[in-house]
Amino acid sequence: MLNGSSAAALYGSQASNGALIIKTKKGASSDGFEVVVENTTTFEDIVFLPQMQKRFGSGYAAFYPYYVAYENQQYGPAFDGSTVLIGDPLEDGSTQTGAYSWTGDKDKFWETGATNMTNISIGSKDEKGSFRFSGQYLGSSGTVAFDKYNRASARLNGTRKVHDNLDVSYTAYYAQNRYDITSANATIYDNVLQSPGHINLLGYKDWRNNPFANPNGYYNAYYNNPYFVAENNRANTRNDYLMGNVQLDFKPLEWLDFMGRVGMTTQNQSFKNTVGKFNYTPYAAGLHGAYKSQNIAGSVSDGFNYTTNIVSDFTAHATHTEGDFKFDYTALFQYVQNQNSGLGASVNGLVLDDLYNLGNSLNPPSASQSQYLSRIFGLAGKVDVAYKNYLFLSLTGRNDWVSILDPENRSFFYPGATLSFVATDAIESLQGLEYLNFLKLRTSWSKVGQVNVGNFSNFGAYSLLPTFSQGAGFPYNGMGGFTLGNQVIQQGLKPEMTRSFEIGFESAWWNNRVSADLTYFSNRTTDNTVPTNISWATGYSSYLLNAGVTSGKGVETRLSISPIRTTDWDLTLGGNFTYIDNRVEEVAEGLEELALGTYGGTTGSYAIAGEKFPILKGYGYQRDDQGRIIVDKITGYPSQTEGLINLGPALPTHTLGLNMTLSYKDLTFYTSAEYRTGNYIFNNGGGSFDFSGAGINTVSYDRERFVIPNSSYWDEATGTYVANTNVTVRDGGADYWTMGPQRTDIDETYITSAAFWKIREMSLSYNLPKSILGNSVVKAARISAQGRNLFLWTPSTNVYTDPEYSDGNGAANGNAIGLTGLGQTPPSRYLGFSVSLTF
């Protein structure tokens, strides 16, 4: 792993935040021939669901609740176990009944996903080189009914010494995956959570044969059967990947070597997204609710695209020694080309059922086509100087030329420098300390450029120019019509520039049983590239610009202790702690804040001058000067602020990680945990849980009238706000919990602490000893069991979900963190086991 300037100097602005270098095996682990077979089976279960109330069923009336058979809202009477009617009668007069009690089917709806992965690899190694072939097949079923996924891949790589001073290495990789999943996750998630608790959801899976599960007979007047939604809205995707590279290493002289490498990655994708046609009967269309009065016309979308990435690198490296000094020189030239082409077409209104063809419609299909091409040229240099092998200086510099920017801004340079001092090698008195094994002091400074425009498919190509697309409804009557995109770009957009400074130390103590590191860092980014929402009156919806200055300061520490280290036992305890304070120093001339991502253009994530980055803003409670919620003296209801208020930072400031490895002979147990705090999250689904009566908060006071905690009201006699001890809300049921301005429109209601403790991983592995394997063909064998995302603890106010479960306001905006909705399946826990055999 390379951080900051080290990564950027070698891999360019695309690695400005660091680079993770994955080195694949090139052959057997030792001389000779080797075969490894591995199998891993993993089970996935949904966890950390929003907490639902389990006491009340269907009904919508305030003050005097009564049961309503077809109602989605859950403000009816308390469960009593009696038999009740469910839904409206069918057209033939058939009725459905069930017990008026909690079923638990909201949690049981999510299926146990299963993934089985098998790997086989064949490798050989000798003094001239190495060879390795590996293949993998993975099959998986999802947590949503009917979802499936599979992947097959093959990899070939190796090395060969062609001459004493010439080595060749190569890698070729092919993979294909196939998705058959629902395209309506958000709808399904919402439908399940909003269903009344006494409904037997699992009984509605066979919607084709069960008349009460069929959309015509489904009980709910406002939400369709989630099983029908899952099967009727499908996304079928096929991806094929081909990756390869060839590298030549030439060493003509002892002090001089060259490396040339050419790599290519291609992705070919095809997809078909379908919505099945469904016509409601006239009888169903006349029942309660609205959705059954509108037939599902059906649709199909077909598309194809390919992406090709070519990276060519050439490096020259030289070394020489001058007395106590050793010099290393590296020069790099890099060429990167990214290309994408896509074609898509769709049509609404199918004529024949289950025929998903663009010609199966009376409507003309709409089509789109896109092509993108971008190039990057990079020149970099690196000089490393070592003095007596204890004082090290490294200087880097790189210049990139990026095609996607305006000509005057395409070229940018970014340098870096690091200095380190190994005190235990330099200071003789430290070498005599038995308890100190290693001490290194280090500092660095870097300036890193980043072009933060576009995404993985368009690379930012043509993002700075106005582009047109075919307008909705065109061509019409033989005439074409085109419209500009919805984003306007600042003229002369420049790369982001981040200047970073670090200082710290690394140390090892007591025969390397204790290691401790500490780093202080400070960074400052100018010309941040961010999209912000703007008024539709401008003709656009967003504006991409260089906006202001952000900074971050903090401390990172790491501690590892091995209190037990014997022939049979080994125990290592580790921990790391990070404190970071990200701030917005400036926004832009004439602006104090920018919206990074919002729900409905208001509540969301913002960059605000002088505040932490980013900040959540939304409507809050009207409060008095003591911070108490102001309520109406008659109704007991609160009211919302006139404008948006600061609801807290979205990024954690404190992160603590803990890990433990315990080994006894060939048995090893590992676990890791993490704690985060200092930030908040907005739960966008909370308002709908209150409105439907499904959320657990709606039974906090047993649906009885209550005094809003920490509230006050205006007292005319004293002319002040007085503490509220006796003015209860007018209704503890549907009237209060479903009200907009007094409850569901107050965003502060759904802001919770994003703090959590999480057990991220546990694993137990056993390497079979040689005494058991003997002289069999099996050289080594390992069995293991592992779990991920195992346990979560959050503050009691967070009754919604895992704070890491963020959808960025549903717009995939990387800066819009701290926002969560229902746009993806809930968080999962993974449990699995593996077997590995080496022959």
Q: What is the secondary structure of 794-837 as a DSSP string? A: --TT--S--TT---GGGTT-TT--SEE-SSSPPPEEEEEEEEEE
Residue 144: CB atoms within 10 A of its CB come to 23
Residue 599 lies in a domain: yes
State yes or no: pLDDT of 12 exceeds 70: no
Confidence of residue 531 (pLDDT cuts 50, 70, 90): confident
Residue 455 lies in a domain: yes
DSSP SS3 for 690: helix
Which pLDDT value is given to residue 67? 97
Which pLDDT value is given to residue 539? 81
Which pLDDT value is given to residue 629? 98
State yes or no: pLDDT of 813 exceeds 60: no
Q: Which residues contact 178 (CB under 8 A, 6 or more apart)?
A: 148, 149, 150, 151, 236, 237, 238, 239
Q: For the chain, what's the residue count?
A: 839
Q: Which residues contact 749 (CB under 8 A, 6 or more apart)?
A: 686, 687, 690, 743
State yes or no: pLDDT of 17 exceeds 70: no
Residue 561 lies in a domain: yes
State yes or no: pLDDT of 8 exceeds 80: no
Q: What is the mean pLDDT of residues 257-272?
A: 97
State yes or no: pLDDT of 791 exceeds 70: yes
Q: What is the mean pLDDT of residues 200-212?
A: 96
Task: Mark 425-459 as b/e (b = at least 16 C-beta within 10 Å).
Answer: beeeeeeeeeeebebbebbbbbbbbbbbbbeeebb
Residue 81 lies in a domain: no
Confidence of residue 722 (pLDDT cuts 50, 70, 90): very high
Q: What is the mean pLDDT of residues 93-106?
A: 96
State yes or no: pLDDT of 232 exceeds 70: yes
Mean pLDDT across the chain: 92
Looking at per-residue confidence, does 658 or 3 come out higher? Answer: 658
Residue 355 lies in a domain: yes
Task: Dump pLDDT digits (tens) for 171-204.
Answer: 999 999 999 999 999 899 999 999 999 999 999 9
CB 501 within 8 A of CB 445: yes
Which pLDDT value is given to residue 530? 80
Which CATH number covers residue 389?
A: 2.40.170.20
> What share of the chain has pLDDT > 70, as a percent?
95
> What share of the chain has pLDDT > 90, as a percent?
79
Task: Dump pLDDT digits (tens) for 679-717.
Answer: 999 999 899 999 999 999 999 999 999 999 999 999 999
Could you tell me the CA-to-CA distances from 141 to 52, 146, 636, 752 in Å, in that order? 26, 8, 50, 33
Q: What is the mean pLDDT of residues 94-105?
A: 97
Residue 66 lies in a domain: no
Which pLDDT value is given to residue 473? 74
Which pLDDT value is given to residue 13? 63
CB 567 within 8 A of CB 610: no
Nearest to 424, CA basis, from 390, 449, 450:
390
CB 378 within 8 A of CB 338: no
Q: Which residues contact 672 (CB under 8 A, 6 or more apart)?
A: 657, 658, 659, 660, 759, 760, 761
Q: What is the mean pLDDT of residues 555-573?
A: 97
Task: Dump pLDDT digits (tens) for 293-345.
Answer: 999 999 999 999 999 999 999 999 999 999 999 999 999 999 999 999 999 99
Half-sphere exposure of 599 (CA within 13 A, CB side): 25
Which pLDDT value is given to residue 496? 93
Distance, in Å, from the CA atom of 475 to the CA atom of 129, rounded to the nearest integer, reads 61
Task: Dump pLDDT digits (tens) for 275-298.
Answer: 999 999 999 999 988 899 999 999
DSSP SS3 for 679: coil
Q: Which domain holds residue 514?
A: 5-50+98-838
Looking at the DSSP bridge assignments, the partners of residue 283 are: none
CB 324 within 8 A of CB 388: yes
Which of 232-236, 653-657, 705-709, 825-829 is the least confident region? Answer: 825-829
Looking at the DSSP bridge assignments, the partners of residue 138 are: 117, 151
Q: What is the mean pLDDT of residues 120-130?
A: 92
Residue 55 lies in a domain: no
Q: How many domains does the chain have?
A: 1
Nearest to 792, CA basis, from 712, 701, 667, 673:
673
Which two structure tokens, joined as six digits, stand for 337?
Answer: 């080309």
Confidence of residue 14 (pLDDT cuts 50, 70, 90): low
State yes or no: pLDDT of 812 exceeds 60: no
Which pLDDT value is given to residue 776? 83
| CA dihedral for 452, 454, 455, 461, sign (positive or negative) | negative
Which pLDDT value is given to residue 82? 97
Residue 62 lies in a domain: no
State yes or no: pLDDT of 18 exceeds 90: no
Q: What is the mean pLDDT of residues 415-425?
A: 96
